[in-house]
């Protein structure tokens, strides 16, 4: 029986999804589930900072960061995604390269900020990815990390694991990622929920954080490297 190569399978999956993702990414960042992320980063990370967008996909999030006044380099496992990013989003302030989130091709403390949106779940070892993010980020600087919440349909990518089949998606609850970060050299600076239509945000203000997280499509953390 051939052993399962997570890295290879994940790369192949996202190479195949590159065209599909490219058709949706602009809408997500401009009007959809990711529209509040760059403003959240602007609230915490100074304009002009050198930011690594880890798991950048076709680069639209990197493009939005560049529009907001940041110097950006986008990294993604998929060569197809990176080729699309280079052709569509590259500029004097934005560059792209292919790389693995658990082995980022940068020296220690290269970045003054990081963004990783729905990418840590697609690594074989989320802890290894978190450690690598810590390695390339300067001390006392910030990582904006988004993780799919319990109501997100893409979590269904991991369902077949219940049949013992190999999958390339590590489902985690937001509170699990929060604990993982706290136990491994990070401080929680801030967080915000992104919700599906039908969730009454007026009622959310009365709920404790774990219940707010339970209703999310995505929870976005702002983490500080200690």
Question: How far is 168 from 5, CA to CA, in rounded Å?
Answer: 9
pLDDT of residue 42: 98
- Which stretches of the chain drop beneath a pLDDT of 50? 1
All structural domains of the chain with their residue ranges: 6-225
Structure tokens at 142: 């910030």
Structure tokens at 188: 């929680």
pLDDT of residue 2: 59
DSSP β-ladder status, 186-194 and 218-225: antiparallel
pLDDT of residue 1: 43
pLDDT of residue 203: 80
pLDDT of residue 36: 97
Strand 94-98's sheet: what is its strand order?
94-98, 71-76, 50-54, 111-117, 137-148, 218-225, 186-194
Structure tokens at 75: 């990294």
CATH architecture of 6-225: 3-Layer(aba) Sandwich (3.40)
Neighbours of 125 (CB within 10 A): 14
């Amino acid at each position: 029986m051939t052993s399962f190569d997570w890295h290879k399978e994940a790369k192949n999956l996202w190479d195949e999804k590159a065209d599909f993702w490219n058709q949706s990414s602009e809408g997500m960042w401009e009007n959809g589930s990711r529209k509040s992320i760059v403003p959240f980063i602007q609230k915490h990370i100074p304009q002009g900072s050198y930011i690594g967008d880890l798991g950048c996909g076709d680069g639209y999030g990197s493009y939005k960061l560049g529009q907001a006044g940041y110097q950006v380099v986008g990294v993604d496992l998929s060569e197809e995604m990176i080729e699309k990013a280079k052709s569509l989003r590259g500029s004097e302030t934005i560059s792209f390269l292919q790389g693995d989130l658990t082995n980022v091709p940068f020296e220690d403390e290269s970045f003054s900020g990081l963004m990783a949106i729905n990418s840590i779940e697609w690594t074989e070892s989320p802890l290894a990815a978190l450690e690598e993010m810590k390695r390339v980020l300067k001390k006392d600087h910030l990582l904006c990390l988004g993780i799919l919440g319990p109501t997100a349909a893409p979590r269904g990518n991991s369902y077949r694991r219940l049949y013992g089949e190999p999958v390339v998606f590590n489902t985690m609850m937001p509170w699990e990622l929060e604990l993982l970060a706290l136990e491994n050299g990070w401080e929680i600076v801030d967080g915000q929920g992104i919700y599906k239509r039908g969730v009454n945000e007026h009622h959310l203000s009365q709920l404790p954080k774990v219940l707010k997280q339970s209703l999310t499509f995505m929870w976005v953390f702002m983490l500080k490297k200690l």
